[in-house]
């Protein structure tokens, strides 16, 4: 994959080059629309590598363009929402219960938990355990399934709650309802003290620093509470 990936990065530097999506594949086209010639077809792993470098932005009419380099006119690239630096709104192929492959809207960027997983403590060890990271990412994936629909905005308040209706603009599928129940159970397992922070970071993709501000926590207090919340999630999911 390395050679194809480097070629894709080089091709994306050309004027008119952009990434399309066809099922689980990502054709790289040269030209202004879908009549443009496909010069390379990438898989999901290569696409995610391009999300990391050079970075991608949504293209008018569908697909993705490379993010401008620092020397380019950065005003052309939309900035991610404040506090959500890892957000890249797009679509991800998902296998439905009946075997059909469909595309669901999702965040294709790096989650705050994945970013925190690379941080080290004072002794040089990973700050989060593998079980804690896996639990946080599982909650994120379940929430994306529950929130699947036409809106790219991750709105947990659109999920059905016990004793209340849904503010979602489309009727949720059975799959989404099941995921919603699983997310609610996982958040409840964190307890009322930790739930709000876990929800902000794992579901809404809010940075830890901004989540502390939203929840009126002391600086660095969120770090301790998030780790405790991820530990509770890991126990709930029986991971580790």
Q: Give pLDDT tens digits for 62-116.
A: 888 888 754 444 333 444 444 555 555 665 555 455 555 555 565 555 678 888 8
Q: Same domain, yes or no, for 31 and 116?
A: no
- What is the span of the domain harbouring residue 27? 2-76
Instruction: State the pLDDT at residue 74.
Output: 39
* Sequence-ordered strand ranges (E) for 22-120: 26-30, 37-42, 56-58, 64-66, 89-95, 101-107
Q: Same domain, yes or no, for 48 and 100?
A: no
Is 82 inside a domain boundary?
no
Q: Same domain, yes or no, for 72 and 113?
A: no
What percentage of the chain carries pLDDT values higher than 70? 71
Instruction: State the pLDDT at residue 69.
Output: 59
- Which residues lie below 8 Å from residue 128, measured CB to CB, with a gap of 6+? 113, 116, 117, 119, 136, 227, 230
Average pLDDT over residues 226-240: 94
Instruction: State the pLDDT at residue 34.
Output: 80
The pLDDT mean for the chain works out to 76
Neighbour tally for 88: CB within 10 Å? 19
Q: Among 52, 76, 100, give the residue marking a domain's end.
A: 76
User: Could you give the maximum distance between any two Cα atoms of the chain, in Å?
Assistant: 55
Region of 124 (left: φ > 0; alpha: ψ -120 to 50; beta: rest) is left
Q: Same domain, yes or no, for 180 and 65?
A: no
Query: Which stretch of 93-107, 117-131, 157-171, 203-217 has the lowest confidence by average pLDDT?
Result: 157-171
pTM of the model: 0.52
* Strand pairing report for 37-42 and 89-95: unpaired
Average pLDDT over residues 159-177: 52
Q: Same domain, yes or no, for 195 and 105?
A: yes
Name the 3-class secondary structure at 219. coil
Q: Among 29, 46, 76, give the residue marking a domain's end.
A: 76
Q: Distance (Å, rounded) from C-alpha 5 to C-alpha 42?
A: 8
Q: Same domain, yes or no, for 145 and 54?
A: no
Q: Same domain, yes or no, for 107 and 69?
A: no
Is 227 inside a domain boundary?
yes
* Residue 172 near residue 166 (C-beta atoms within 8 A): yes
Q: Same domain, yes or no, for 157 and 116?
A: yes
Q: What is the pLDDT of residues 23-51, one digit of tens each?
A: 778 898 988 778 778 889 988 888 888 88
Q: Same domain, yes or no, for 148 and 189?
A: yes
Q: Distance (Å, rounded) from C-alpha 92 to C-alpha 177?
A: 19
Between 67 and 170, where is the model more confident? 67
Q: What is the pLDDT of residues 175-184, one digit of tens each?
A: 778 888 999 9
Instruction: State the pLDDT at residue 167.
Output: 42
Q: Same domain, yes or no, for 153 and 178?
A: yes
Average pLDDT over residues 206-211: 86
Is 83 inside a domain boundary?
no
Domain count, the chain: 2
Residue 187 has pLDDT above 70, yes or no: yes
- Is the C-alpha dihedral spanning 48, 54, 58, 59 positive or negative? negative
Is 68 inside a domain boundary?
yes
Average pLDDT over residues 227-232: 96
Q: Same domain, yes or no, for 160 and 57?
A: no
Q: Among 21, 50, 76, give the residue marking a domain's end.
A: 76
- Which residues lie below 8 Å from residue 174, measured CB to CB, with a gap of 6+? 97
Q: Same domain, yes or no, for 72 and 186?
A: no
Is 81 inside a domain boundary?
no
Is 223 inside a domain boundary?
yes
Closest residue by Cα to residue 210 from 108, 90, 112: 112
């Amino acid at each position: 994959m390395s050679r194809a990936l480097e070629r894709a990065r080089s091709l994306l530097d050309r004027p008119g080059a952009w990434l399309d999506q066809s099922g689980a594949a990502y054709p790289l086209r040269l030209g202004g629309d879908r009549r443009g010639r496909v010069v390379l077809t990438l898989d999901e792993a290569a696409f995610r590598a391009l999300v990391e470098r050079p970075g991608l932005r949504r293209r008018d009419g569908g697909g993705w363009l490379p993010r401008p380099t620092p020397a380019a006119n950065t005003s052309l690239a939309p900035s991610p929402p404040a506090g959500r630096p890892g957000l890249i709104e797009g679509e991800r192929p998902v296998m439905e219960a009946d075997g059909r492959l469909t595309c669901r809207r999702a965040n294709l960027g790096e989650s705050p938990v994945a970013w925190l997983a690379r941080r080290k403590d004072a002794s040089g060890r990973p700050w989060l355990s593998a079980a804690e990271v896996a639990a946080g990412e599982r909650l994120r994936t379940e929430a994306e399934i529950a929130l699947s629909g036409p809106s790219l905005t991750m709105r947990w308040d659109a999920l059905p709650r016990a004793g209340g209706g849904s503010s979602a603009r489309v009727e949720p599928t059975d799959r989404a309802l099941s995921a919603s129940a699983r997310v609610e159970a996982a958040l409840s397992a964190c307890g009322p003290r930790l739930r709000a922070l876990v929800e902000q970071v794992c579901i809404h993709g809010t940075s830890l620093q901004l989540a502390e501000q939203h929840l009126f926590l002391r600086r660095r207090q969120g770090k301790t509470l998030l780790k405790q919340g991820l530990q509770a999630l890991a126990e709930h999911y029986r991971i580790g």
